Each structure stands twice: as structure tokens, then as C-alpha cells.
Structure 1
Amino acid sequence: MESPLLIVSLIFLCFFPSALSSSVVTHLPGFRGPLPFYLETGYVEVDEEHGGQLFYYFIESENKPAEDPLLVWLTGGPMCSAFSGLAFEVGPLQFVSVEYNGSLPSLVYRPYSWTKVANMIFLDSPSGSGFSYSTKEEENDSSWFQQVYKFLIQWLVEHPLFISNPLYIAGGSYAGKIVPMVAKRILDGIGEGKEPLLNLQGYVIGNPFTGGRVDENSKIPYAHSMGIISDDFFEMIQKSCSGQDYRTPTDSQCQMYLNSFNNLFLSEINEGHILEAYCPEYRLNHLHSLASATSSKRILKENQNILRPPPFPDLSCRCYAHTLAYYWANNNFVRKALNVRKGTIKEWLRCNRQFPYSKEPKSNIKYHLSLLQRGYRALVYSGDHDLFVPFSGQNNG
């Protein structure tokens, strides 16, 4: 008698021909010894017209891969690489933050990774972010969630053992706007009967954007509640901006106060964590200063993808590791180990800020409502010291 899993796998293969290429990675440059977890990298085609390929990092659960949930992790921005989630947030790797000297940055194992209890796909999405690529010259919210949906279906074609695992879509910051849109698309596909059932259980979002006015308009009340602005200044803003959207004020005095808030107060605050030191970035052109050393010349030759090196913050800043990631990911040995296709990405950027992106639709509230009304689980967590996306705005969303 045929097993249910085999039948489901055959149905998947009939519905969706393979569009995936993948490789198992056992060693990474900068990490001492073999990786203590299963890592697979690869590409999935999601846009045939524009040759759109999404790059992913798949890490099996270190607990019970056959039973543990499957999480698809999206990184915000938009246009930021999911490597941020892997190396700076919830994954099993982290950089050793020491002053960059021209050599390859070092990685170590993080023991508090979510991969201790879950299978995780860190997905560079949409195309144009991380190592994902396409000939398309613009992306938006709608194309992003559609690409993730297509990716997931195609990925499961090649990984049928995970079809029955509990499935969660996860992400943070701006990706928090996209996550419920992906989950809703999965439900729509199931309802249309166009593909086999996926075991969607819910979604997970951290410090999430919702879109609309709630995210931006919560910043000033939050700043006041945390003592960043005075009672008098807060009252002046409330009085002059009463009933107005802070993103598009119509009153000149309101605009003046908002400019003061943005230019004076926020210029001295670490918006990502208001209790940490403000970290202005300054450029240390290490590559030029090291060019006279023979060993450094060899290192420079290997780093053939360095085009626009980012500025270095102070070493005490947590974002120092972001710059280390730039030099690591643009090293040719690293790209070879990750099986990145040659000639596809000239320069890896943690966040591709120059890529055109339109934020439509304006709000994702209806997607949240649709999922919650159907009884799907949602975990929404938020740091209480985040000024980018204040938790008070999420409470009122």
C-alpha cells in the first residue's frame, strides 16, 4: 500500500516540475571546523519572464527535523538579505566583532538559535536582495509575497519530507507587513484547490510594520512616554498637528515641529534600541590603508566584489558586525562555499537601498483579520525600546 507521504509527494511533482538547484554546505570560510548543523543553500526560480531566482539558506532543526515546525524567515528593509536573520537575529551563526584588519571576518556558533527546535529557511526576498537576482528593475509588496509563495511550493517539491511539518511564515520589521500576506496567499491556494494542502499553522512577526499611518504616528507618543521629548514639546506637537497624519502634515507649524523632532531629537538617538549608544557611521578606508602590505594585497585580490564598502561605526556598536558581513559575503571563497552563481551578483549588500521598491498596498490589517478569523495562530512580539516600529503603535493597530 502506498504511504500518504509518497502520494502527496507524487501529487506535488505532477503539479509543479522542479525549478530548484541546491547544495549541502559542510564548511564555511571564517568558521573553524565543520558546521555543527545541516546547512543547504540554493536557488528557486520564481519569475520565468525575468529570470527571477531566490537564494535561500536552509538549516535543519537540531532537535527532530522530521517533526519540528518549518519556518520560512523573511527579513525586512525592504530589500534586505535574510542572512541578517541567520547571523544577527535568530540563526545559529554570529560574527566575532573585532576590529577589521583586512582578513576574513570570523564566525562562531550561536547556541540560542531557533534552529534548536525548528527547521528554518532564510530566504533572500524579493529578487534583488542578498544573492537573489532578476532582470526586473522594480519590486513591491505584492510581487514580494507572490515570490515567497511560489518559492515555498517549489521548494517543497524537492523536499517532500517537510510537507506534513507544521508550517509557519515568520519575519520582522518591514517583513512583518509581508508575512501575513504570504500566509493569506497560501490559504487562498488551498481554498482554490490548485495544489496539495500545506500544513499552515500560523505566522510569527517581530517588531512588525503594518503599513498605514499607525507605524509612523506612534513614534512621537512613544518618544514622549520614554522621556526622549519633553511634556511641553509633546503638547505643542499635539496642538499644532491635531487630527493630521504625521507623514503628510497640512499645517506649516506642525511641519516645523515634526522637522525639529526628526532633525534634532532623532539625530542623537539609536532608533533601533534607544538605550544603546547612538552610532554615527564614519568611513575608515581599510582597504587603501592596508594596500601596502603584501599579505593584504593578496586579501584584496581575493575580495574582488568590493565596490562600495560601507562605513564603519564604532567597534562598540552592534551594527559593526553588519560591515563585517559585507566583507565576508563579498569574499570569493565564501561565495564558492555557499555555491553562489558566478556573475549574478556583483556586490552583496545587507540591504539594497538603491533598488526601486514601492510599498503597496498601504496596510496589511485585512490580512491579519482574515487569518485570525479563521483561527490561525499568530505570535507578535516586540522590543519595548524600538523607536523604528514602537510597540505602542502595534497595540493600537
Structure 2
Amino acid sequence: MAFGSGNTPMNWVCLHLLLPLVCSVSSVLCGTLVKSIPGFDGDLPFKLYTGYVSVGGSEMFYYFIESEGNPKEDPLLLWYSGGPGCSVLSGIIYENGPLVFNYTGYEGGLPSTYYYPYSWTKTASVLFVDAPVGTGFSYATSADEYPSSDLKAAAQVTGFLRKWMEEHPEFLKLQLFIGGDSYAGLTATMVVKYVVDDNDAGVLPRLNLKGYVLGCPLTDQALNANSKYVFSHRMGLISDELYQAAKESCNSSFYEVTTSEPECYENTQLIAKQLKDINKLCILEPKCTWASPGQDEETARRFLYENPGEFIRSLPKDPEYYCRNFGYMLAYVWANDGSVQKALNVREGTVLDWKRCNKSLSYTKNVDSVIDIHKYLSTKGLQALIFAGDHDLTVPNTGTEKWIRDLDLPVVNDWRPWLVDGQIAGYTVKYSSNGHRLTYATVKGAGHSAPEYKRRECYLMFDRFIHYYPI
């Protein structure tokens, strides 16, 4: 797979927002300041700016939250979600942002939100972007712009970042980190490469890239598929006998098994049957089902609009039967509310139906692996944090650990527990070679993606890493 040159086209069309500019006192940042949002009691206790950046014929929507620590010196993190097609608002609300829905007290109507103190924005300024185009509130000016791919998405995010930095040059001096989770593990890795190549080629302005942060990252399609079988066996979800039979008949390769391999196909089908009712996002949690067979999140969201009372009655009273999907539904109600969109400065009529994850996105998966890019980046003296939930069956930690080992980097701090409040929060190992430092960490008890399950622990992990403290 050829990834092309790292140079990013510079002919992005400049967007002039027809909105009042408000400047922050703590920095010279100018943009559209969001002081309050519907459902939140009082003014926001952090500085949130929203806006668009034109990248070709696409209008990329972003949320910029200034660091609540020292915004003049704290690092800047670019972050977007996976899917592909999942809105970064989902990350802000459920994973690493300063807002949370009060779904336990939901009684219908517009959901309320409250401030969450263990946000990554406590220790870094975070530029959240809805990417690729067609995700969240990002939209295209013509239908031809909507089809996307791994390669196009990576180039688009790179173009967005460079354009935003050009429009906000005061951030050029800050340390820059690039991050994403889940499927964004593929494209965010490519974005890092593009920025590195631009810097090496002397493209101006030079971005002060220091490293990258990847959570539960998809890195290699075949490796990830194979790792699901290894993980399932290690976790006791499939028997020793069935695993060994599948391993031998499939020659340890479970990726794209077809009926032309009858014994292998039969064994993998038996394994699929064993795992059918397991929640792949977190094997510890129940697999959520809807009232109607085959009902998906979109259908459930429409049902919620029409029958809010049924949703309230369906909320589990016993935490043991908690279903994470109940909380997801509130995002649809909140983000599709006209008053919310007005407060966020979303352009009227551009996105008629906000989706947490746009499954109808026209998207071509044309990059199978970025392991070679990770090998290339390991020669560039960057700081990298790769983390994984140890109960994630979507992108299992077994696969992540394998491709990291395959980089063949020297271990400088061997496998050990890392602690929060004196308790083991996971395990970590650190690699280093020629100035490149890669820290890998598991998050104990977490699923996919880890911050959604262990939000405070992941904040403390990020805080230590971003300020160069041992995890």
C-alpha cells in the first residue's frame, strides 16, 4: 500500500465565519465562544469554542476546549473518534471530555448535563474534530465530497489540523500531540506520518509535533481478527479443544475464512456461536437487546422520540442489569435539539439528523495495516502512548501487544502494574530507541474504548504521560 508523500495540499479555501469573535483572557485565542448550553445549569466552567474549517469542499466542525490548567503552556491534543463515522461529541460526553449526561435522572425532554472534573482538558487543550466529512456536524458543500476512505480521511484531518493551526498561530509554540481511538487508530497514525513528513520537508508553518496517543487502536485488520480468537481463548470464552482444533485447521489464520476451507470454516462457525451473545465492546457487561428483534440504535432513537415514557420505564433500576445503550440514546435527543445546535453554532440546515455513529457513511476501507508506519515513526524521536482495555473483544489487547512487540523496540521499563489510589489500574511497559519512547498500558476492567469504562483512571494515565511522568 502506497501512502503517497507527506506533503499536504495547501489550497484549502479559507472560511470566514459570519459570527462575532470573542477572545479569551488567558490566551489570544479568538473564535466562537460557547458560554452556556441547554441542559447545563449556569455558565460552562471551561472555555469551549466551536466552529468550522474548510478543507476542500468539506466543512469540518470542531469543538476546542482550552486547557483548564495552564493554557499558555499545556500541550495541545488533536482528537477524533473512530467508527469510521462516529462523532467526537460521543468522546466528549462519554470518554475524555468535561461533560456528562445525567441519564439516571432523565424524565423525558432535553437531557441535562453536568461538569465532569476528570477531563483530559484539565491538563491539555483539546481540539476535537468530527472526521471524516459526514460525521457529526461536519458536512460537504456538494454530494461528490461525501464519499471518503482511509486515505482521504487521513489527508482531510491533516488538512484540517494545518488550516486550524494557521488560523490560530499562537498554538504553534505549544507541544502538539495527535490522537484517536478505535478505527481512528489507522488514520490517526497516518496523520502523524503526514505531519512528520511535512516537517522534514520544511513545510511552513512547522508543527511542533511531540507525539501521539492511541486508544484501543485498530492497527492491522488481519492481526486484529486473529487476536479475537487468542483473546477469547485466554479469557475462557472458548474451550481449549475448540481453540486448538480451529488453530490447527486454520493454520493460525482466522482472517477472511471461506467455505473453501471446510474444517477451518466449521470450527470458526462453532466459535462464532459460542461468542454470539457476548458483548464484544466489554465482555463483562450484558449484551444489550431492544424490544424488537434486529432493532438497531437508529430505530431505538426514533422510538425514544415518539415514546419517551417507555424509555424512562425501561431504565434499569438494578445496576447489575445496566445497559450502556440507554445513555447513548440521550445523545441523539440532545444533539438534534434546535436550541443545542444554535448554542453550538451549528449552521442551520446543514445536518438534518445528527447521528452518534453514521453507519450510512460512504466509506472505502483501503488501508489494511499501519504497522510499517509505526516502525517508521519509531525512528523519529516521538513520545507515544498506546492503551487498551483488557476486556475489549473489538480490538483486543492481545493483538495490540503483538504488533507493538513486532516493532522490536528495546524494553526500558518491563511489564509492571500502574496504580491509582494505591490500587492496580492496569499494567504498563515502556520501550525506547533513539529518542523514540513508546508507553503501552492496559486499563484493568475496561472495554472499548477504555475511557468510557474507566474515565478517571484514563485521565490520570493521560495526565502523567502528557507531562512526561511515569505512568
- Flag whether TM exceeds 0.5 (same fold): yes
Secondary structure, aligned partner of 1:122 = strand
Q: Residue 333 in 1 paired to residue 329 in 2?
A: no
- Matching residue of 2:104: 98
- Matching residue of 2:384: 378
List per-residue Cα deviations over 1:283-306 (Å, max 9, x = no partner). 663433469xxxxxxxxxxxxxxx
Q: Residue 353 in 1 paired to residue 359 in 2?
A: yes
- Matching residue of 1:257: 267
- Matching residue of 2:5: none
Q: Residue 231 in 1 paired to residue 240 in 2?
A: yes
Secondary structure, aligned partner of 1:185 = helix
Provide the C-alpha distance between the structure 2 equivalents of 1:17 and 1:325, rounded to a whole number of angstroms: 32
Provide the C-alpha distance between the structure 2 equivalents of 1:392 and 1:20, rounded to a whole number of angstroms: 47
Contact 1:280 1:313 in 2 (8 A): no
Shift of 1:188: 1.4
Secondary structure, aligned partner of 2:62 = strand
Which structure is richer in relative contact order (CA contacts within 8 A, separation 6 or more)? 1
After TM superposition, list the pairs within 5 Å mapping 1:136-215 onto structure 2. 136-215=145-224
- Matching residue of 2:291: 282
Secondary structure, aligned partner of 2:385 = strand
Contact 2:46 2:68 in 1 (8 A): yes
TM-score by length of 1: 0.86
- Matching residue of 1:342: 348
Contact 1:269 1:278 in 2 (8 A): yes
Q: 5+ unaligned residues in a row in structure 1: which ranges?
A: 1-13, 292-308
Secondary structure, aligned partner of 2:211 = strand
Provide the C-alpha distance between the structure 2 equivalents of 1:257 and 1:234, rounded to a whole number of angstroms: 8
Provide the C-alpha distance between the structure 2 equivalents of 1:313 and 1:215, rounded to a whole number of angstroms: 34
Secondary structure, aligned partner of 1:87 = helix
Measured at CA, do residues 182 and 259 of structure 1 come closer, stay the same or move farther in structure 2, by a change above 3 Å?
same
- Matching residue of 2:83: 77
Structure 1 counterpart of 2:370, from 364, 370, 375? 364
Provide the C-alpha distance between the structure 2 equivalents of 1:197 and 1:83, rounded to a whole number of angstroms: 29
Contact 2:102 2:111 in 1 (8 A): yes
Shift of 1:345: 0.7
List per-residue Cα deviations over 1:33-79 (Å, max 9, x = no partner). 100000000000012xxx21110000000000010000000101111
Measured at CA, do residues 313 and 244 of structure 1 come closer, stay the same or move farther in structure 2, by a change above 3 Å?
farther
Provide the C-alpha distance between the structure 1 equivalents of 2:52 and 2:154, rounded to a whole number of angstroms: 17
Task: Please identify which structure carries the higher strand content.
Answer: 2
Question: Aligned letter for 2:78?
Answer: V
List per-residue Cα deviations over 1:94-143 (Å, max 9, x = no partner). 11123754310111111110100000011100000000011323111111
Contact 2:133 2:146 in 1 (8 A): no
- Matching residue of 2:445: none
Shift of 1:282: 3.5
Contact 1:20 1:158 in 2 (8 A): no
- Matching residue of 1:323: 329
- Matching residue of 1:115: 121
Contact 2:166 2:205 in 1 (8 A): no
- Matching residue of 1:303: none
Moved more, 93-102 or 232-241: 93-102
List per-residue Cα deviations over 1:213-240 (Å, max 9, x = no partner). 1011100110010011111221221122
Structure 1 counterpart of 2:227, from 196, 201, 218? 218
TM-score by length of 2: 0.73
- Matching residue of 1:19: 15
Contact 1:173 1:207 in 2 (8 A): yes
Provide the C-alpha distance between the structure 1 equivalents of 2:284 and 2:274, rounded to a whole number of angstroms: 14
Structure 1 counterpart of 2:59, from 45, 50, 53? 53
Measured at CA, do residues 277 and 206 of structure 1 come closer, stay the same or move farther in structure 2, by a change above 3 Å?
same
Contact 1:163 1:198 in 2 (8 A): yes
Provide the C-alpha distance between the structure 2 equivalents of 1:261 and 1:53, rounded to a whole number of angstroms: 44
Shift of 1:384: 0.6
Shift of 1:268: 1.4
Provide the C-alpha distance between the structure 1 equivalents of 2:11 and 2:347, rounded to a whole number of angstroms: 27
Provide the C-alpha distance between the structure 1 equivalents of 2:315 and 2:263, rounded to a whole number of angstroms: 35
Secondary structure, aligned partner of 1:354 = coil
Matched residue count: 361
- Matching residue of 2:439: none
Contact 2:237 2:275 in 1 (8 A): no
Measured at CA, do residues 368 and 76 of structure 1 come closer, stay the same or move farther in structure 2, by a change above 3 Å?
same
Contact 1:18 1:157 in 2 (8 A): no
**Percent identical:** 42
Shift of 1:18: 4.0
Contact 1:102 1:287 in 2 (8 A): no
Shift of 1:161: 1.4
Secondary structure, aligned partner of 1:369 = helix
Measured at CA, do residues 321 and 149 of structure 1 come closer, stay the same or move farther in structure 2, by a change above 3 Å?
same
Measured at CA, do residues 282 and 46 of structure 1 come closer, stay the same or move farther in structure 2, by a change above 3 Å?
farther
Question: Aligned letter for 2:128?
Answer: F
Shift of 1:248: 3.3
Moved more, 20-29 or 143-152: 20-29
Measured at CA, do residues 116 and 226 of structure 1 come closer, stay the same or move farther in structure 2, by a change above 3 Å?
same
Contact 2:305 2:333 in 1 (8 A): no
Provide the C-alpha distance between the structure 1 equivalents of 2:256 and 2:100, rounded to a whole number of angstroms: 36
